[in-house]
Amino acid sequence: MTHGCRRSRAGALVANLVFLALAACSAAPRTIRIGLAGPFSDSTGAPMLRAAQLAAETINRSGGINGRPLELVALDDHGDPDSAVKVALALKQAGVVAVIGHVYSEATLAAAPVYNDPAHPLVAITPSATAPAISDAGPYTFRTCPSDRQQGAALAGFVRERLGLGRGTILYANNEYGRGLRTAFADEFSRIGGQIDETAPYLEDGPAVEAYLQRMARQKTSQFVFLAGSVGEAPAILSAARRLRITAPFIGGDGLEGLEAAGAITNGTYLSAAYLASDTSALNQAFVAAYQRKYPTATLPNQPAAATWDLLLLLREAIADAGTGTARLKTRIQEVGQRRPAFLGVTGEIGFDDHGDVPRQRVLIARIEREQVRLVEGP
């Protein structure tokens, strides 16, 4: 959820990264180190770290990987592109064999050249970055979540065919995530006969959308608002719409994950998701139960957490088969869903195409009702 890119503060990381990298290098030589990169100090990244720790413990209790213990090297990138580059370099120094991360699109794209350095490449799999540009970030960059193209197209079909709405307004954050989701939704919505009245950008810090909403309220032609943005600015935009007595539904992507926490003003909002903790599959219920046992006071796992759990289990299989050599491991992962069966995890079916994407990954559509997220469309 995903995720898309959200700006966050950059910490003074260099000293901490060097310390953590050196500490990792002092570990027992037979451990297999896997890197974890994300914004662990915020509410999106913290569950990812918890799920990774739970998965590592589970793997090590069952004998590790071919008898070798798995060791996590987790570094906080604060969701910031510059910090993400430093984290990627530090993880390489730490001797990890693969990286799970980063969470946000801008951070993932910033770090991709480090992982795809032809002289010293490293497999990196993002659990949640959705920007279309990640498809072309390099042969060692993979992702397990549906891209903005997939989510935007699914949302457009849902609005046009399930909700029966034919005209709308698009508000989008002027960043990698917002632009990608906006384009995907608009292209598909137009293709299937819908009409966009206006497409308007805003900045994440203090989104100025009142003028667009006033025009929408006067014209009275838009039947919905597509919000291609993130949970940080969405409550302010919803508040502005309600002040203008706009009752048309808001629809958004996985960047709105967690929006229900903002209260009653979010009720009636639709959003796409690659994962919901309420999924009733046996695999997911077992994961959620184990997560709650270990972290009884934490919120339920989010999409980055669930995808990270899946990725550690997938990497366990791949490393057991191919070893820790970078080229062989990359080839083994690339074969998942092509020459080898897809991996079935709590987030659904993971099978990579030639761009490192997951073309068959599910897209769920949910609605916030009474400050709870309810599935309305999906497997």
What pLDDT is recorded for position 204? 81
What pLDDT is recorded for position 205? 80
Please say if the pLDDT value at position 133 is more than 90. yes
| Bridge-based pairing state of the strands 364-369 and 372-377 | antiparallel
**Is the Cβ–Cβ distance between 366 and 269 less than 8 Å?**
no
pLDDT digits (tens, 9 = 90+) for 68-91: 999 999 999 999 999 999 999 999
> Across residues 311-326, what is the average pLDDT?
98
Alpha carbon distance 291, 308 (integer Å) = 13
H or E, element range at 272:
strand 270-273
What pLDDT is recorded for position 221? 97
Note the Cα 221 to chain centre separation in Å.
Answer: 33
What pLDDT is recorded for position 176? 85
Per-residue confidence band for 24, with pLDDT thresholds at 50, 70 and 90: very low
Q: Is the dihedral of CA 174, 180, 185, 188 positive or negative?
A: positive
User: Which residue, 109, 106, 103, 98, is CA-closest to 126?
Assistant: 103
**Is the Cβ–Cβ distance between 56 and 15 less than 8 Å?**
no
Cα→Cα distances 254→18, 37, 72, 227, 366, Å: 34, 20, 27, 11, 10
What pLDDT is recorded for position 2? 43
What pLDDT is recorded for position 125? 98
Alpha carbon distance 56, 49 (integer Å) = 11
Residue 32 CB neighbours (<10 A) = 22
| Bridge-based pairing state of the strands 98-100 and 123-126 | parallel
**Is the Cβ–Cβ distance between 124 and 115 less than 8 Å?**
yes
Please say if the pLDDT value at position 12 is more than 50. no
Alpha carbon distance 85, 191 (integer Å) = 38
Tokens matching residue 167: 């005209």
According to CATH, the superfamily of the domain at 14-146+288-350 is Response regulator (3.40.50.2300)
Per-residue confidence band for 206, with pLDDT thresholds at 50, 70 and 90: confident
Q: Return the residue matching tokens 């297999």.
A: 32
% of the chain surpassing 70 pLDDT: 92
| Residues linked to residue 344 through DSSP beta bridges, in sequence order | 349
Q: What phi and psi, each to the nearest 5 degrees, are found at residue 197?
A: -75, -40
Tokens matching residue 377: 């469309």
pLDDT digits (tens, 9 = 90+) for 239-277: 999 999 999 999 999 999 999 999 999 999 999 999 999
| CATH number for the segment(s) 149-273 | 3.40.50.2300
Secondary structure letter of residue 94 according to DSSP: T
Q: Which ranges in the chain are annotated with CATH 3.40.50.2300?
A: 14-146+288-350, 149-273
pLDDT digits (tens, 9 = 90+) for 146-159: 999 999 999 999 99
Cα three-residue angle 21-25-31, rounded to 5 degrees: 120
pLDDT digits (tens, 9 = 90+) for 156-190: 999 999 999 999 999 999 988 899 999 999 999 99
**Is the Cβ–Cβ distance between 281 and 379 less than 8 Å?**
no
